């Protein structure tokens, strides 16, 4: 039976594929295809893991102290029995043979199947055995991870696809929640779409999904409960709908739409190296947002004229507290700078906290176990200033990378003059330390992100201390409207068109211009063509976005006359419904040079 699940669209397009259900706690399990010639050795890996876990459990049982409760010994027997049960390791083998899944993926796929079966059992005692199967599988997964680290496809190598093995394509990931750091590992993954139960439009998980440029729906509430392993799914990333086991007619309709959007994409791609200049001759800078140094090549390929936001925190996440040292960071920043071939690279100092914890945590854990409201807590520059050694290390690493190209430093979530003073002091000390050590570095501009209302309202003062500002609209909207950007329960209230938000953005841009300082927008609004006219009308000439959005925004830029847009701005800003007024005033296109 076909059903539909509704959520929040976060990344456009249509994906059609088989569901791969992954428990949130196991999203980091390696997912890759095993070539035919390695199937036997993959099964051998699984067998070795099973034998090792069997020995581990038997030893545990043998070494139980005499005073240990008798249930413990019985429990270990149950675990041993489950370990050798065909429904676990036997069926896992089948996933490897038939689907070419690697052992970890095959095991977690089978675990999802078994978990469903247990959930549906009437007998409470039997239902509770699910936890035992999960514990046994966790032991196996831990052994596999230890025994064969780095088994995944090496960086730079082609990711084998299911079709290479005659398998059905493509695959769509379905999970309750995916942490941003886990999402990033899917940059080179086998999945062609994502569905998650939780998350808002501008949560960091959604942002990374968008940067992967594959259709995604978040906040689909019950999706991971309603969807079964291997179900056929259509993800409509434009409407935010997931169709489970679609009828042949619906499937054909979506296949048609998929082909259309591929054609549109190819058409837009031709604009890659066309300069972004409006009809009235205004040059517009289209920069890229990146998460990892390897993304710089993608940015160049997409026609970016620089990096407007390098979210450096992704270098710090999921490392079990083992943060990258100065040299490791320096190499990462230098690689991005060198890859951009002299174009500007804006490196944001670490923005950890809120929905980007250092280590993997579900949003629920974050909220309930750590801070009541992490978005208002020790985040971004607040965190950096609370870790002065780490902060200076990062500043030194960035400064050292500036010897290799054009580097700018961007400070996230500045709200207070005191933070500015401390930041600039830390930078001066970092420079002094490099001078003392005889290390070279280049000229570096320093900018602040304007992403809390306090910063937008005090931007005139802030600009006395900074060379440029970059408006982080994702957080500016979150903090202006008091809407948690990662909470799907309030995502319908997240409104970039709110008059207060528009006023703060417009004022920031005009204040920067009045002082002759650079201003850019690097939040998701910059990459959304629905806001291009509005931002151009406000005088913005520098936009930073996911590389995949550059061509579409450029197409819009090429078609507009900024004088006409600017003339309509006062009416939009004072309108009861700015979105409606903007649609009325801005939508008409004067002439249409296009990629066609
Ligand atoms: C923003 O807040 O708009 C921004 C670009 O920063 P991030 O999304 O990483 O918080
Ligand atoms: Mg932000």
Residue keyed to tokens 């240990």: 68
Residues 183 and 246 reside in one and the same domain: yes
Return mean pLDDT, the chain: 88
pLDDT digits (tens, 9 = 90+) for 39-60: 999 999 999 999 999 999 999 8
Task: Average the pLDDT over 241-250 and give the result.
Answer: 95
The pLDDT, as a whole number, for residue 180 is 79
Ligand 1 centre distance from Cα of residue 496 (Å): 14
From the CA of 451, give the closest atom in ligand 1. Answer: 2
DSSP 111: H
pLDDT of 588 above 80? no
- Domain check: are 187 and 108 in the same one? no
Residue where a domain stops, chosen among 146, 181, 197: 146
Of 263, 282, 317, the residue at which a domain comes to its end is: 263
Residue 590 confidence (pLDDT) above 70: no
Answer yes or no: do 549 and 584 share one domain.
yes
Q: Tell whether 288 and 208 lie within a shared domain.
A: no
pLDDT of residue 377 exceeding 60, the answer is yes
Question: Residue 239 is encoded by which pair of tokens?
Answer: 């409407």
pLDDT at 456 over 50: yes
What are the pLDDT digits (tens) for 67-119? Answer: 777 778 888 888 899 899 888 888 999 999 988 889 998 998 888 888 888 88
Residue identified by tokens 């005033």 is: 585
Residues with CB under 6 A from ligand 1: 207, 309, 311, 351, 451, 472-475, 522-523
pTM of the model: 0.82
Q: What is the CATH number of the domain that holds 206?
A: 3.50.30.10
- pLDDT attached to residue 361: 56
How much is the average pLDDT of 170-199? 83
> In this structure, are 402 and 528 located in the same domain?
yes
Ligand 1, closest atom to CA 478?
A: 2
Q: Which of 31, 79, 100, 522 is catalytic?
A: 522
Measure 451 CA to ligand 2 centroid, in angstroms.
6
Is 486 found in the same domain as 350?
yes
Q: Which pLDDT value is given to residue 154?
A: 42
Ligand 1 atom at shortest distance from the alpha carbon of 523: 3
Q: Whose CA is nearest to atom 8 of ligand 1?
A: 474
My answer on whether 118 and 15 are in the same domain is no
**Ligand lying closest to the C-alpha of residue 310:** 1
Domain of 455, CATH number, reads 3.20.20.60
Residue 203 has pLDDT above 60, yes or no: yes
Query: In the predicted model, is pLDDT for residue 195 greater than 60?
Result: yes
Residue with tokens 């078609």: 559
Indicate whether 444 and 570 sit together in one domain.
yes
In a domain, 29, yes or no: no
Provide the strand spans (E) within 12-52: 14-21
- 482, 487, 490, 492 alpha-carbon torsion, rounded to 10°: 110
439 among known catalytic residues? no
Q: With contact defined as beta carbons under 8 Å apart, do 532 and 553 qualify? A: yes
Say if residue 255 is in the same domain as residue 298.
no
State in Å: Cα 281 to ligand 1 middle: 30
Q: Judge if 64 and 177 occupy the same domain.
A: no
Query: Are residue 310 and residue 439 in the same domain, yes or no?
Result: yes
Domain that holds residue 342: 270-589
Written in H, E and C, the secondary structure of 373-438 is: CHHHCCCHHHHHHHCHHHHHHHHHHHHHHHHHCCEEEEECCCCCHHHHHHHHHHHHHHHHHHHHHC
Average pLDDT over residues 480-493: 89
Produce one character per residue of 522-544: b if its CB has 16 or more CB atoms within 10 Å, e if not.
bbbbbbbeebbbbbbbbbbbbbb
Q: How far is the C-alpha of 172 from the C-alpha of 194, rounded, in Å? A: 6
Asked if residue 30 belongs to a domain, the reply is no
Residue position matching structure tokens 């930073």: 544
The pLDDT value recorded for residue 552 is 94
Per residue in 300-315, pLDDT tens? 999 999 999 999 999 9
Q: Which of 128-137, 207-216, 320-329, 420-429 has the highest average model confidence (pLDDT)?
A: 420-429
pLDDT of residue 167: 54
Same domain for 351 and 500? Answer: yes
**Of the candidate ranges 57-61, 161-165, 274-278, 527-531, the one whose mean pLDDT is the lowest:** 161-165
Residue 4, number of CB atoms within 10 A of its CB: 14
State the DSSP string of 341-368: TTS-EEEEPP--BTTB-SS---HHHIII
Ligand 1 center to residue 451 CA distance, Å? 8
Question: Could you tell me if residue 474 is inside a domain?
Answer: yes
Q: Which member of 31, 100, 204, 546 is catalytic? A: 204
Residue 247 lies inside a defined structural domain of this protein: yes
Query: Among 263, 278, 301, which residue terminates a domain?
Result: 263
How many domains does the structure of the chain reveal? 3
- The reply to whether 370 belongs to the active site is no
Interval between CA 228 and ligand 2 midpoint (Å):
35
Q: By alpha-carbon position, which residue is closest to atom 4 of ligand 1? A: 472
Distance of alpha carbon 240 from alpha carbon 101, whole angstroms = 29
Q: Which residues surround ligand 2, an ion (CB under 5 A)?
A: 451, 472, 475
């Amino acid at each position: 039976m076909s059903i539909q699940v509704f959520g929040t669209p976060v990344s456009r397009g249509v994906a059609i594929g088989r569901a791969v259900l992954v428990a949130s706690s196991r999203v980091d399990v390696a997912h890759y295809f095993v070539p035919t010639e390695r199937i036997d050795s993959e099964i051998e890996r699984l067998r070795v893991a099973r034998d090792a876990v069997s020995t581990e459990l038997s030893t545990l049982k043998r070494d139980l102290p005499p005073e240990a409760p008798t249930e413990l010994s019985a429990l270990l027997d149950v675990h041993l029995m489950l370990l050798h049960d065909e429904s676990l390791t036997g069926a896992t083998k089948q996933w490897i043979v038939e689907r070419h899944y690697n052992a970890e993926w095959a095991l977690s796929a089978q675990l999802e199947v078994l978990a469903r079966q247990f959930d549906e059992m009437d007998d409470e005692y039997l239902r509770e055995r699910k936890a035992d199967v999960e514990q046994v599988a966790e032991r196996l997964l831990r052994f596999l991870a230890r025994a064969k680290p780095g088994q995944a496809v090496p960086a730079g190598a082609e990711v084998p696809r299911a079709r290479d093995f005659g398998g059905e394509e493509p695959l769509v990931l379905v999970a309750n929640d995916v942490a941003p750091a886990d999402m990033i590992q899917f940059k080179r993954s086998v999945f062609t779409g994502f569905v998650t139960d939780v998350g808002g439009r501008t949560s960091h998980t959604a942002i990374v999904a968008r940067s992967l440029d594959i259709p995604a729906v978040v906040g689909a509430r019950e999706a991971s409960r309603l969807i079964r392993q291997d179900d056929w799914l259509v993800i409509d990333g434009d409407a935010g709908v997931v169709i489970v086991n679609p009828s042949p007619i619906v499937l054909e309709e979506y296949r048609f739409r998929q082909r259309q959007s591929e054609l549109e994409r190819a058409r837009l791609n031709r604009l890659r190296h066309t300069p972004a200049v409006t009809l009235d001759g205004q040059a517009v800078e289209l920069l890229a947002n990146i998460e990892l140094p390897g993304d710089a090549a993608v940015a160049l390929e997409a026609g970016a004229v620089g990096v407007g936001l390098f979210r450096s925190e992704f270098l710090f996440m999921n490392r079990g507290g083992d943060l990258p040292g100065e040299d490791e960071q320096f190499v990462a920043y230098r690689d991005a700078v060198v890859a951009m071939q002299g174009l500007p690279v804006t490196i944001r100092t670490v923005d950890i906290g809120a929905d980007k914890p250092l280590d993997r945590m579900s949003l629920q854990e974050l909220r309930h176990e750590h801070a009541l409201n992490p978005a208002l807590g020790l985040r971004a520059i607040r965190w950096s200033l609370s870790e002065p050694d780490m902060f200076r290390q990062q500043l030194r690493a960035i400064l050292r990378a500036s010897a290799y190209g054009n580097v700018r430093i961007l400070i996230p979530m500045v709200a207070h003059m005191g933070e500015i003073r401390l930041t600039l002091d830390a930078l001066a000390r970092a420079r002094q330390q490099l001078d003392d050590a005889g290390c070279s570095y280049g000229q570096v501009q320093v900018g602040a992100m304007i992403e809390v209302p306090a910063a937008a309202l005090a931007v005139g003062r802030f600009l006395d201390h900074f060379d440029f500002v970059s408006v982080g609209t994702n957080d500016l909207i979150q903090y202006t409207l008091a809407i948690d950007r990662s909470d799907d329960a309030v995502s319908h209230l997240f409104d970039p068109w709110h008059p207060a938000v528009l006023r703060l953005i417009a004022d920031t841009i005009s204040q920067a211009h009045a002082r002759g300082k650079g201003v850019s927008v690097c939040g998701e609004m910059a990459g959304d063509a629905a806001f291009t006219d509005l931002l151009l009308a406000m005088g913005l000439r520098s936009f930073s976005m996911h590389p995949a959005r550059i061509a579409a925004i450029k197409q819009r830029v090429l078609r507009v006359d900024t004088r006409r847009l600017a003339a309509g701005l006062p009416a939009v800003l004072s309108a009861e419904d700015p979105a409606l007024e903007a649609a009325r005033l801005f939508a008409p296109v004067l002439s249409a040079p296009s990629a066609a």
